Amino acid sequence: MKKSFLFLTLILTFAFILSGCTKSNNTAATSNANSNTDTSTKMTKIVVGATPNPHAEILNVVKPILAKEGVDLEIKEFTDYVTPNTALVDKQIDANFFQHVPYLEDFEKKNNVKLVPLVKVHVEPMGAYSKKIKSKDELKDGATVAVPNDATNEGRALLLLQKEGLIKLKDPNGLTQTPRDIVDNPKHLKIVELEAPQLPRTLQDVDLAIINTNFALEANLNPLKDAIFMEDKNSPYANVLVVREDNQNDPAIQKLAKALNSDEVKKFIEDKYKGAIVPAF
């Protein structure tokens, strides 16, 4: 009787110990699983506004680089030059990548806002395109030339026409001049001011159009082959990553800036665009 009781006591004790160990192991496993889940999902999301080519393409290059550093990059595409800045000011996005500093400064002045250019990434030389002529010498008296109508890109286009000897401006170096500042126009060129994204679609109607490289690329124009003349690679209009004053020091934004100036991005720009777009770092 005593032996039976002792045997039963030993069985119950062993079962209790075994149950406790199993519960402890399960708890530890669950804890580890939760810990692993927390680590894998701990990503910081940032939204960057950009025009499709080449800006969104370049951002897609840095997306996996940032993912390894815990940053989830969402790219929001825009097809105009105004909305990306207003969206940034309104905190709908965290940064934008589509513009050069002269354009940014003009936007800030007109809208009484302050944004921050963080890093230079690349230069897109502006070019002159035509479906009707193959050289500037073929421009006839009274030919129609279309240019962007925003202040800085219009001034930039007029400076390019001046560089080619087609016009002369009041200020040889002014960045925000308009057709009213033309003081010599030997071929009596008719300057038509249009929204920058519309310029490639006007090539059937005008004799010459001065087009930003990003919109030329979107229209399947090859700047190196199709442009009659272009800005040289020393253009001061480097495209920049732009942020707000309140988030310029955010760790995720700083990682983005570093990635945009990485060797991977430089190689991508050089290999894909082959001189039509050049790194600015």
Cβ contacts of residue 106 below 8 Å, gap of 6+?
A: 150, 151, 152, 176
Mean model confidence pLDDT for the chain? 88
Q: What domains, with CATH codes, occur in the chain?
A: 44-125+236-279 (3.40.190.10), 127-230 (3.40.190.10)
pLDDT-based confidence at residue 28 (cuts at 50, 70, 90): very low
- The pTM assigned to this predicted structure is 0.76
Task: Catalogue the E-assigned strands of the chain.
Answer: 44-50, 71-77, 95-100, 115-123, 127-129, 144-148, 168-169, 182-184, 190-194, 208-211, 229-230, 238-244, 278-279
**Residue 93 predicted with pLDDT over 90:** yes
> In this predicted model, what pLDDT tens digit does every residue of 109-145 receive, in sequence order?
999 999 999 999 999 999 999 999 999 999 999 999 9
**Residue 15 predicted with pLDDT over 90:** no
**Residue 3 predicted with pLDDT over 80:** no
96 φ/ψ angles, rounded to the nearest 5 degrees: -140, 160
Contact predicate 210/126, CB 8 Å: yes
> In this predicted model, what pLDDT tens digit does every residue of 234-257 receive, in sequence order?
777 999 999 999 999 999 999 999
pLDDT of residue 5: 42
- Residue indicated by tokens 């250019």: 117
Beta bridge partners of 123: 238, 278
13 φ/ψ angles, rounded to the nearest 5 degrees: -65, -45
**Residue 264 predicted with pLDDT over 60:** yes
> Rounded to whole angstroms, what are the CA distances from 130 to 11, 102, 202, 249?
94, 26, 9, 44
Rounded to whole angstroms, the Cα distance separating 167 from 144 reads 13
Beta bridge partners of 115: 244
**Residue 7 predicted with pLDDT over 80:** no
pLDDT of residue 235: 77
